[in-house]
Amino acid sequence: MADLQTIYDLKALLQLPLPGWEAQKMLMPEGRGVDGVPGDLQSASVLIALYPQHGKWYFPLIKRSIDGFAHSGQIALPGGRHEGSETSLETALREAEEEINLPRQNVEILGMTSPLPIPVSRYLVQPVVGFVSTIPELLPDPREVEQIFSISLEDLHQAHIHHETRQFRGKDLQIPYFKFHSHKIWGATAMILSEFRVLISKVI
């Protein structure tokens, strides 16, 4: 069984001042704008859902379906925009249930990391951290999710930051990313995980 002390320690850390932008920007792509203020952006939430397996804590990531939208085909955390008067917690839990079949009532919330503005899609994303006590039966919603895979906290803690050159609007830009299995994680998801990695380095 994965050590529950890690969960208790992480919950305590999430109540303290967070690393925030200094940690997020370590994985910020070159040329990424930070224009726009929270009042200009739509609210969205994602869920980092920890679960125990093989004596470690894992969390799922998704590969989004090819749908033609801004983040089509990218690796992401389960999540999406707020509906109606939803809170950040409600959105994260609903989206995880819809996208990966994680029952919201099974998730215990530990806290939240720092919100991240995403200028390209005009969202302000609030990451939520929770855990479930048993291995969940994760199933992708085929309308939104092409694939689900999981990484451990140790995987994230030990991950190297890679870089590659991509061309955007005629310019060669340096893009930092994490690589897990055959997947490259960059952009907003990598920036969120960059801060989360700083936090878990204190508990594992």
% the chain with pLDDT above 70: 93
Contact 112, 14 (CB under 8 A): yes
Average pLDDT over all residues of the chain = 92
The pLDDT of residue 125 is 97
**Highest-confidence segment of 23-27, 67-71, 117-121:** 23-27
| Cα 14 to Cα 175: distance, rounded to the nearest angstrom | 28
The pLDDT of residue 69 is 54
Q: Indicate the burial class of 83 (C-beta count within 10 angstroms; 0-12, 13-18, 19 or more).
A: exposed
Q: At residue 67, does pLDDT exceed 70? A: no
| Cα 92 to Cα 29: distance, rounded to the nearest angstrom | 25
Position 103: which residue type?
P
Domains of the chain, residue spans: 4-200
Topology of domain 4-200, CATH = Nucleoside Triphosphate Pyrophosphohydrolase (3.90.79)
Average pLDDT for 67-93: 87
Average pLDDT for 180-201: 96
pLDDT level of residue 36 (50, 70, 90 thresholds)? very low
Name the phi and psi angles at 23, rounded to 5: -85, -40
Q: At residue 80, does pLDDT exceed 50? A: yes
Q: Find the angle CA(22)-CA(16)-CA(46) to the nearest 5 degrees.
A: 65
The pLDDT of residue 142 is 92
Average pLDDT for 51-57: 96
The pLDDT of residue 122 is 87
The residue among 101 and 34 whose pLDDT is bigger is 101
73: left (phi over 0), alpha (psi -120 to 50) or beta: left
| Cα 179 to Cα 156: distance, rounded to the nearest angstrom | 10
Q: At residue 49, does pLDDT exceed 80? A: yes
pLDDT level of residue 181 (50, 70, 90 thresholds)? confident
- What are the strands, taking DSSP E only, across the chain? 42-53, 56-64, 75-76, 79-81, 108-112, 116-118, 123-131, 145-152, 162-168, 171-180, 183-185
